[in-house]
Structure 1
Amino acid sequence: MIGNAVTTVVSVTSRPFLKALATTRGGADSLTGFVFAYGEARREAEALRMRLAESAAALARSAELAAENQRLRRMLRFVRHEPDLGLESVEILANYKGILKIDRGVIHGVEVSMCVITEDGVVGLVTEVYPASATVVTLHSAECRIGAMVERNRVRGVVHGGRGDISRICTMEYIDTKDDVRQGDAVVTSPESLFPPGYAIGRVVAVHDAGRLWKYADIEPAVDPYRLDELFLVRRAAIPAGELAGRRETEGLEEPARPAAAALPDTRTLQERYAP
């Protein structure tokens, strides 16, 4: 009887403690499960981020390869379209304030004053040559001066740089004040320049009348040298006169001798013969 009473008292007294202990164990188990689930989710998220980064890098590489492929196709079409210029593709080693260094030099046959172009237009001129490299001054440099003309009406002038690295605008000088030059006119190389005639130099963005015999125009170059990776060295800017006349040089063949025509009598008077 007394034993049953003691058991009852102990059971009643310990019940809250046992309930609290069970609750604590359940909470600990829940907390442990939550921590484990959080860690697992975090690892999955990190793996997803890595896969996403890899996919983005692969997509960027694919886009770069596509752009490079398109650029090379354009260059190839340009070379095929201009077989008479002897174009040679060169790479840019350095680019600083409108001056480029290319990977061709004396050992490759590069000479001072050779022209450098792209499929979009004029880049500049070779000014210094080293054994395995050369310096090219572009239209963003004051050292570059190119004979030019307005494509619309063939008004002549000289285009040069010199506005500095920030402006990136060059100048066309020696334009007669009476000549018609307008904003938006295309400017190309003239037959008097070192370049093949008709290649794009840029467009007129402003015309200034200095109030003298000459006026000048601001030109935005067609080619931005700061965005170039490759360009073309012009090995043969001038076309031989024989080819312009429709004749090609033929090695190993001699033109047959023609019979000399009989000399005709000179019917001019003495005054006509010896007049200054």
Structure 2
Amino acid sequence: MTQSSAQKKQLIPNQSIITIKMVIAVLASVVLLYLDARTLHTMPIKSSVNSVIYPIKLLAELPSTLGKQIKIWASDKKELIDTIEQLQNRQYILEFEVQRNASLLAENRRLRLLLRSSNTLQYPSIIAEIMSTNTNPYRFIVELNRGSNDAVEVHQPIIDTSGVIGQIIEVNPRSSKAILISDPQHIFSVQVNRNGIRGLAQGTGNSQSLNILNIPIDEDIKVGDLLISSGLDQRFPQGYPVAIVTSIEHDPTNHFAKISAKPTAELNKTREVLVLKSIEPDLSPLPEAAAQ
């Protein structure tokens, strides 16, 4: 007998045994399914088996469950971060709007005051806005958004609701430049409102101070006196507030008192001004300051 024949004889019994086992398993499964469906006898067995299998099932499903929870957590976290960012951006926008509205309200108040002032003036006027200032710290020059197209001319005075601001010195079609009364090169005639004593106001390069010139030491002038434009030099109309006297020094060796005054207008804060149109400009050079 050859080796292959012997192997075939051994395989036949093995295949028969496998077939018998499979039939028994199928029959057992059918019986168990029937008993499970028709009777309650298998419940204790099922409970015992489930008690053993359930923890194993949980362990088997744990990676998948954790993965799902991590995805949900990551998604919720991203959504929360996006929501927080959106709320912060909205808060910034609202804060900006609040500040902008406050600025607009303040601007509206200033414009109403200017309009009220322009209605009481005896000269035609136009409202102008200061667009920029000179970068030279020793000069006080501002640029306005009104020019020759708006009938603005050189030497026209500019004022605000608090008093005198300056004069137009350069005009373009859509803009103009003005020198402020605080500029050291600007001098004009003033008088004490209380008694009419006249002098000259010269800029010091400081928006908070003017030098008052040509007032003798024996004249009746006091700290707190209001100085107004005299109108005599035709640079400004008569009677507009200019400054308040802040200090007076008498030097026996000098005929004139050394007087300082604070401008009534906020020269470094004003944004809107009135340009007076009809006053006859004095085209002569600015008056020289008297020696102190």
Same fold (TM over 0.5): yes
Unpaired runs of 5+ residues, structure 1, are 1-13, 239-276
| In the alignment, structure 1 residue 78 sits paired with structure 2 residue 117 | yes
Cα 1:108–1:67 change in 2 (3 A) is closer
Residue number among 240, 246, 258 corresponding to 1:205 in the alignment: 246
Q: Deviations over 1:1-36 (max 9, x none)?
A: xxxxxxxxxxxxx99998766665555454444323
What is the distance in 2 between the residues matched to 1:108 and 1:27? Answer: 75
Cα 1:55–1:134 change in 2 (3 A) is closer
1:237, distance to aligned residue in structure 2 (A): 3.2
Equivalent position SS for 1:175: coil
What is the distance in 2 between the residues matched to 1:198 and 1:215? Answer: 23
1:122, distance to aligned residue in structure 2 (A): 0.2
1:143, distance to aligned residue in structure 2 (A): 2.2
| In the alignment, structure 1 residue 53 sits paired with structure 2 residue 69 | no
> Aligned residue for 1:182?
222
Equivalent position SS for 1:43: helix
What is the distance in 2 between the residues matched to 1:150 and 1:77? Answer: 26
TM-score, normalising length: structure 2 = 0.65
What is the distance in 2 between the residues matched to 1:126 and 1:41? Answer: 58
Q: Match of 2:101, as an amino acid?
A: S
Q: Match of 1:171, as an amino acid?
A: N
What is the distance in 1 between the residues matched to 2:269 and 2:162? Answer: 12
Equivalent position SS for 1:34: helix
| In the alignment, structure 1 residue 65 sits paired with structure 2 residue 107 | no
> Aligned residue for 2:237?
196
Residue number among 90, 104, 111 corresponding to 2:128 in the alignment: 90
RMSD over aligned Cα, in angstroms? 3.0
What is the distance in 1 between the residues matched to 2:184 and 2:69? Answer: 77
Cα 1:63–1:159 change in 2 (3 A) is same
Residue number among 146, 152, 159 corresponding to 1:117 in the alignment: 159
What is the distance in 2 between the residues matched to 1:46 and 1:105? Answer: 46
> Aligned residue for 2:265?
223
| In the alignment, structure 1 residue 39 sits paired with structure 2 residue 78 | yes
In our comparison, the structure showing a higher alpha carbon Rg is: 2
Cα 1:93–1:22 change in 2 (3 A) is closer
Q: Match of 1:95, as an amino acid?
A: T
Equivalent position SS for 1:225: coil
Equivalent position SS for 1:176: coil
Equivalent position SS for 1:227: coil
What is the distance in 1 between the residues matched to 2:132 and 2:75? Answer: 55
Equivalent position SS for 1:67: helix
The answer as to whether partners of 1:120 and 1:200 remain within 8 angstroms in 2 is yes
Matches within 5 A, 1:134-149: 134-149=176-191
The answer as to whether partners of 1:98 and 1:225 remain within 8 angstroms in 2 is no
Q: Deviations over 1:83-130 (max 9, x none)?
A: x21112233343213112334445554443322111211011223344
Q: Match of 2:276, as an amino acid?
A: V
% identity of equivalent residues: 23
Cα 1:73–1:46 change in 2 (3 A) is same
Cα 1:109–1:46 change in 2 (3 A) is closer
Larger CA deviation: 187-196 vs 104-113: 104-113
How many residue pairs match? The answer is 224
1:233, distance to aligned residue in structure 2 (A): 1.6
Matches within 5 A, 1:251-262: none
The answer as to whether partners of 2:118 and 2:274 remain within 8 angstroms in 1 is no
Bigger proportion of residues as helix: 2
What is the distance in 2 between the residues matched to 1:204 and 1:220? Answer: 6
Q: Match of 1:213, as an amino acid?
A: H
The answer as to whether partners of 1:91 and 1:231 remain within 8 angstroms in 2 is yes
